Amino acid sequence: MLLLLRGFPVPPLCVFQDFDEYGHETREIADGQQSLVTSIYAFFEGRLPLPTQRIVDSVIPGCRVPLLAPGCYYTTKDGRNAISGLLREAIDKFTIKLLLMLSVPKELRGDIFRAMQLGDPLSMGQKLYACNSQVEWLAKRLEKHSFWRDTYRLGQAFTEDIHNLRYQGALEFIALECHAKRGTFYHALEQSTMAEWAGGRHDDLLFPGAESQISKRMECCAHVFHRNTYVEQLRQQAQRDGRELEKREREPGASGRTAAILMYQACLILEKEGYDFAVSERGCLAPWLDRVQREMQETRGSRGKLVHASGQQKFWSLWKPYLKTEVPGLKKRSDFANDTAYETARIVAHLGER
């Protein structure tokens, strides 16, 4: 209360909203701020007095009356030892900001609170979690998809995920899918644009069956970019060559937002070209992704360009012909002599994922 009465800035109250198994809303104050809320309630209920020291060098913001009521209460039963009406009116004008965070995983809540307390800027993923929209609700469902486990380096996607890679990636998938529905494969994915999507500005672009469509697309991506399949291929090749795996070969797989954009766009673009991922070889595009990521690491600034539509278009004008001619594991429906051969290939691919 002393900070409030002296007019010092108070960090926003961070409230985490959840729903229990019965759909009932629950709200939880961030650890470390609960004592502040308890003190405020106690003061306004008349259970906590003003500081006992006389604060003559401070004035409540918006009120010229010095704090000359040490030890007095906001309200009392008999009116005695209570602050003046003028002081009460000034206190009532205090404003404390409330940051409502929706469905934030427990492992991320500590990072958010510490960032707020230390004055550090929140990451983009942390800011987006405070949004409330249909797109935001869908993204939080898609971030639980097995795609992230099957394609990403485990450390990058789960233990070091301070920027909430999966959630931001899911937002990008929604934006890409909605625009693909309208015939556009390239779309701006800058932070400001993603904030608009999470905030509900583009909820009208969601179409019936969007969640099912995106989930199926993510399954296709997980199939052709399957990380463990590629790891096994590298291990077998090293054994044939009579050598140990190199350091870079031990941890292949997707890394960062850029990889998510490339994988999803690859499926959109190649499917438009007639490729059928249900019968393509498992992990067939993982070596290509590994190569692209290595080249981007060597070329500074190339990753950032892929959040712009022009950068995406330039990238795919270069790489689409390569994928169509240099990746034999990609298959089309027309590659099979008859329906029986096609269905057999589908069954084999399905069994390979079990």
Chain CA centroid to CA 28, Å? 21
Question: What's residue 114's pLDDT?
Answer: 64
Helix 191-198, helix 165-181: angle, nearest 10: 80
Question: What's residue 115's pLDDT?
Answer: 65
Beta-strand ranges (E) seen in the chain are: 13-19, 25-29, 55-59, 66-67, 98-102
Cα first-last separation, the chain: 60
Backbone angles phi, psi at 228, to 5 degrees: -65, -35
Comparing C-alpha atoms, which of 296, 155, 161, 282 is closest to residue 231?
A: 282
- CA atoms of 350 and 285, how far apart (whole Å): 17
- Please report, for the chain, the start and end positions of each structural domain, with discontinuous segments joined by +: 2-100, 132-352
- 170 has a pLDDT exceeding 80: yes
CA distances, 63 to each of 6, 11, 219 (Å): 11, 22, 61
Residues 178-188: pLDDT tens digits? 999 999 899 98
Residues 63-122: pLDDT tens digits? 544 455 666 787 777 777 777 777 777 777 777 777 777 767 666 666 666 666 665 565
